[in-house]
């Protein structure tokens, strides 16, 4: 699969790169994608939710009224969950939502995500960027040149570049990651995936 390489001015260069069919040309596995995204979102949950149950409510332990003879239901505590101001019945407790997935399945999910973007023409390759200092205006100009100003963009770099990251950090619709840390959720959450030229080799080395 051959793809044109664009430069920082948004113009297609004479270069073309060949993307591996083992990654970008497979039939996307929907269930693998579902499981990987589900795990990613579950692992992001703090799980610190908590409500007080009847044993944790402060209040008198005195019996409210006598057991029999009142004509109403028996009642022994103002802390009961059936009374106003009482504890929560079966309320949420702190818990860990994370779960395990096999590495092969996660690798298949990332391949499927890239293949899905390639099939829907939502993938483009950009020449490696060289920014000498963090400048958001320069980065905005790059996005405008690529005609992606109204799109949610994921930029994948071959290696860590603090200047590029800091230049994009303040932009709500742009996320910059390195090729060795990209995940299925980020790829699918973006409308357009922009691959730096050097990132392709890293992605293919990790996923093949």
> Structurally, what CATH architecture does the domain formed by 2-45+100-207 represent?
3-Layer(aba) Sandwich (3.40)
Q: What is the pLDDT of residues 109-127, one digit of tens each?
A: 999 999 999 999 999 999 9
**Structure confidence at residue 1 as a pLDDT band (50, 70, 90):** confident
| Per-residue model confidence (pLDDT) at position 69 | 93
| Per-residue model confidence (pLDDT) at position 10 | 84
Residue-range domain boundaries for the chain: 2-45+100-207, 47-96
As a whole number of angstroms, the distance between CA 2 and CA 20 comes to 9
Output DSSP code: residue 28: P
CA distance between the termini of the chain: 16
- Is residue 61 predicted with pLDDT exceeding 90? no
pTM listed for this prediction: 0.83
- Is residue 33 predicted with pLDDT exceeding 90? yes
As a whole number of angstroms, the distance between CA 130 and CA 192 comes to 21
């Amino acid at each position: 699969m051959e793809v044109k390489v664009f430069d920082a001015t948004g113009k297609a260069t004479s270069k073309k790169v060949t993307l591996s069919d083992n990654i970008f040309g497979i039939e996307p596995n929907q269930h693998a994608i579902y499981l990987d995204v589900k795990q990613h979102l579950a692992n992001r949950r703090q799980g610190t939710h908590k409500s007080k149950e009847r044993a944790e409510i402060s209040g008198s332990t005195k019996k409210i009224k006598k057991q029999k003879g009142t004509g109403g239901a028996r009642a022994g505590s103002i802390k009961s969950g059936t009374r106003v101001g009482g504890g929560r019945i079966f309320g949420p407790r702190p818990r860990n939502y994370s779960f395990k997935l096999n590495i092969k399945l996660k690798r298949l999910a990332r391949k499927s995500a890239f293949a899905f973007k390639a099939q829907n023409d939502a993938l483009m390759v950009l020449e490696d960027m060289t920014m000498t200092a963090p400048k958001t205006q320069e980065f905005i100009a790059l996005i405008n040149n690529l005609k992606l100003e109204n799109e949610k963009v994921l930029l994948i770099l071959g290696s860590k570049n603090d200047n590029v990251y800091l230049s994009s950090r303040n932009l709500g619709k742009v996320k910059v990651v390195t090729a060795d840390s990209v995940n299925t959720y980020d790829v699918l959450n973006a409308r357009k995936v922009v691959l730096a030229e050097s990132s392709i080799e890293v992605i293919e080395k990790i996923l093949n």
